Chains A and B, each alone.
Chain A
Amino acid sequence: MTTIPQQPARHEQPPLIEIEGLTKRFGAFTAVDDVSFSVKRGEVLGFLGPNGAGKSTTMRMLAGFMIPTSGSARIQGHDVQSDGVAARKVLGFLPEGAPTYPEMTVESFLAFCARIRGYRGSDMQDRVDYALHLTTLRGVRLQPVETLSKGFKRRVGLAQALLHDPPVLVLDEPTDGLDPNQKHEVRLLIERMAPNKAIVISTHILEEVDAVCSRAIVIARGRVVADATPAALAQRHPSGKLEDVFRSLTQEEAA
């Protein structure tokens, strides 16, 4: 089992991500129920939960895309609702399913994102090259996104999130649809970036949490049911397996 070297405690720094009492109701259905947590620089938070538990909804609210029913989220001190543009400037967000404009080439899509983020000329080209390099997309840079395989599309979405080297990364299922080699590459990438960023990744692949996360939050039916290091979490079940802990935590809730 790989462990991530623990970052020295940096109490003097405020958390890069602060979520307080975030709640989202759709009619009578409560998708996210009073979720609070914060993520500091150097932390990689694994966001776990069964499908429909409220992972994507929480991340959408964190990215300022969905308006919470109540509660608030701040990114580097900027409220995502009242100061959204400033918050989104320092955020790299990979939405669920890694949406991209299908008719654009990889390079023109990334150039569009770079330009929107205020880069111009050679700066912009540098940013695009950097993102292409990080996600090993150089070979397909001139191909329209719609002609790419699922794994490549996911990496285009990832490239877009990493392009401006943001201090806060929120990635909704970054390794979904990737083959084992690509998954490994993305995990290495996340590990490399981890010391300088606050990263939240959602996944339902438990080995991934073991591999890259310094902390795991389990969410079930919209509520946080566990918040601990992966190792501490695994010990909650006699078998010592994260899988068993996950099952007991989330099924208990569903029952």
Chain B
Amino acid sequence: MRAILIVAGRELRGYFATPVASVFIVIFLVLQGALTFNMGNFFDRGQADLVPFFSFVPWVFLLLIPAITMRLWAEERRLGTIELLLTLPITQGQAVIGKFLAAWAFCAIALALTFPFVIAVNILGQPDNGVIAAGYIGALLVAGAFLSIGAALSAATRNQVIAFVLAVAVCFVFAIASHPVISEFLAKNSPTIGAITRRVAVIDRFGNFTRGIIALRDLIFFATFIGFWLFLNTVLVDQRKAD
């Protein structure tokens, strides 16, 4: 555990030592703000909640999170530091989890910086802050799910552009797996796969959180989902570290 935190700490400081952190956070906040106020009709709805805010979070993450994860392993390879990191006395699993936790903590910081929205709705009305808290937990879990996908794909290729495009594509598939267009198509052609895709739809799970429902099965879903991709990440690092 200690090794994981040391790796994560170094990694997280690395974000803030480069413009990556400030660019990401600024763009995230600008996008969230613009979408919530303009497309989400934050004021015109006349309701004190963060529904418009949360409805855009997964889509903004879909675009921005692969930008964080694409460099996660590819950058270590480019610099050759992967050879240094993996010849220190830590397991590959510890390195994988440490890097993931750093990226996740970074997303948590970016999410935390959206606190003015919470203050705004509390000034304008009496929102259910429990629902808002559940929404934030859900958003963090969506970030974790997308990060775990992106991290694994970053370990699979040494090309950062490929890592980015693949991560956006795979995250998109999991995000919209339950969208009527897809589920109807699959229900007609392959009911078994249709049943599976409805269950792995990240957006549906997130929807429960934004309605204030923190269900155990959703938590288990996210834990399993992230665990699976981290496991895949470890295997990919092991197989491709020296390529």
Contact = CB atoms under 8 A, between A and B. Distances in A.
Interface of A: 60, 63-67, 84-86, 88-89, 91, 93, 95-97, 99-104, 108, 112-113, 115-118, 157, 160
Contacts of B7: 116
A101 B79 CA distance: 8
A88 B87 contact: yes
Nearest to B7: A116
A31 to B, nearest CB: 11
6 contacts: A88-B88, A88-B89, A99-B81, A101-B14, A103-B17, A157-B84
Nearest to A90: B89
B158 to A, nearest CB: 15
Contacts of B241: 65-66
B184 interface: no
Contacts of A115: 6
A100 B88 CA distance: 13
B235 to A, nearest CB: 12
A154 to B, nearest CB: 13
Contacts of A99: 79-81, 83-84
Interface string B168-196: 00000000000000000000000000000
Contact of A160 (B79, B84, B86): B84
B242 A112 contact: no
Given A112-B6, A116-B3, A116-B88, A97 B80 contact: yes
A120 to B, nearest CB: 9
B89 A117 contact: yes
A86 B241 CA distance: 20
Interface in B1-37: 3, 6-7, 10, 13-14, 17-18
Contacts of B18: 103
B146 to A, nearest CB: 25
A191 to B, nearest CB: 24
B27 to A, nearest CB: 21
A164 to B, nearest CB: 9
Contacts of B13: 104, 108
B10 A101 contact: yes
Contact of A102 (B79, B83, B84): B79
A79 B241 CA distance: 19
Contact of B80 (A66, A86, A89, A96): A96
B90 A66 contact: no
B150 to A, nearest CB: 21
A158 B83 CA distance: 14
Contact of A100 (B17, B84, B91): B84
Contact of B83 (A95, A108, A112, A117): A95
A65 B80 CA distance: 12
Q: Which of B14, B18, B80, B238 has the most CB of A within 10 A?
A: B80
B88 A95 contact: no
A157 B83 CA distance: 12
Given A63-B87, A65-B86, A117-B88, A100 B10 contact: no
Contacts of B80: 95-97, 99
Contacts of A101: 10, 14, 79, 81
Contacts of A63: 83, 87
Contact of B81 (A84, A85, A96, A100): A100
B169 to A, nearest CB: 29
B12 to A, nearest CB: 12
Contacts of A86: 89
Q: Which of A66, A101, A117, A118 has the most CB of B within 10 A?
A: A101
B224 to A, nearest CB: 27
Contacts of B87: 63-65, 88, 91, 93, 95
A160 B238 CA distance: 23
Nearest to B81: A99
A146 to B, nearest CB: 10
Contacts of A113: 88
Contacts of B88: 88, 113, 116-117
Q: Which of A95, A118, A160 has the most CB of B within 10 A?
A: A95
Interface in B71-110: 79-81, 83-84, 86-91
Nearest to B86: A65
A90 to B, nearest CB: 9
A100 B10 CA distance: 12
Q: Which of A65, A86, A157 has the most CB of B within 10 A?
A: A65
A118 B3 CA distance: 8
B178 to A, nearest CB: 40
